[in-house]
Structure 1
Amino acid sequence: MKQLCIFILCLIIISCNDTTNPNDNIIKTTGNYIKIKEDQSNDVLLPLKKGNFWVYKFVYDTTDINTIMYGYDTLTVTGDTLFSGENFFILSNANCVSPVCMDYKIFLTNTNNGVWFHDLFTYNLNYLEVKYPANNNEIYYSEAYKWLFHSHDTSYNYLKAERQLKIETNQYLTVEAGNFNCYKFIESYNNFKLYDLGNDTLTYYQSIYYYALNVGKVKEEIYHITYFKGRETKKEKLLTYTLKEYKLY
């Protein structure tokens, strides 16, 4: 009996020492891109060629819980331009909530490590939008600057934070545009707060993006962490898209 008790005790000790740290499987990465891809349409998460467009249908819950807005986002590649000698594509984003439409431009390009965004407002810096190639359970770390608006005196300032982009692979989605195998990107920030435009209240957000290889963004979700106990406040799904044939000259 004594020997049996000793044997069981040994098993308990072994099992306790064999506990797996869940962080052991996480791959941590950071860093800038090395070069911009010549072929912007193949083996990329966002095919970029003039004439490509994506139409999204979205539902948006404002901070007023009784107000829900429905609308459409249309993203169109209209041309390209140079920043510091590097080629970025110009995308026109038309955001329509009937009967009002707002249009603004963003600048993106595909590189050796993913889709990068050129931000004209924060010191003309480039940021990684979504990473590719990417591994399951990979987390990409970077510094970020956010443009903040203060409603009480209409002033602006920048806030620096650590951005984390967690990646999950093989996420199968069905939307109106079709069935897709996606990369899931969970975007969050450390030491960062966004000002709510309505009342200058400090608020937290988390964004989740789904991208399909050689297709583009398929779905987007935004969660308001402070209000609504973290529930979803925006959902956007791909309705239809058109991609032009890409040729290397």
Structure 2
Amino acid sequence: MTVYDPTPFIAPITEEDIADYLMQTPGFFERHAELLTSVQIISPHGHRAVSLQERQAERLRAKIADLEQRILEMVHNGQQNMSIDQRLHQWACDLQRMTHPPSLPEAVVQGIRRQFEVPQAAMRVWGVSPAYANAPFAVGASNDVRAFASSLTMPFCGPNLGFEPVGWLRDGDMVQSLALLPLRDGPMEHATPAFGMLVLASDDPHRFEATMGTDFLTRIAETASAALARLR
């Protein structure tokens, strides 16, 4: 025979219920401050038991240390960016002072190597004035390279996969990573035909990677393009 139990079923209180109650009752620990000193939890440092207040202090110190590290990184990055901006400005000023147009390509290349510590750099330009048509910087770029340069609307960065411009470098066999920068009139992202290509190369496979930011390289290409326009 089934015996009827009139006692209503009461679901057990869960941790979620307790957490929800405390969230909805902000004055609880003010009225029961003694609980804060009696609660003991495990510290992540040494696995010893500490009070809730001490654990909160540890978490706060960790957050402060993390913020301090981020601030130091921001300051360091800011100083690096300022240094790069200064060197880019100096390089641009040097190019503006050039009074002998045929010397510009070499000045561009050597300035990049000196100011930005790029191990190797070279370039080719086409569509130049007839007076410069037979200069070393104006010959040796195939139609494929010219078409590839015109197709780029941002710098190409990655490993050395046997690109033709590597052959323009003095020590092409040493190249592990490179950046290919199209030279064109106006902003790089415009799909106007390129009139040249600049190659930057390194024996470090991680110097120029596909995932790196290219804003700085874009500024280099646009500055070089503006200076080299005097050859056309």
- TM-score, normalised to structure 1, is 0.27
**TM (normalized to structure 2)?**
0.28
Higher relative contact order (CA 8 A, sep 6+): 1
More strand by share: 1
Higher relative helix content: 2
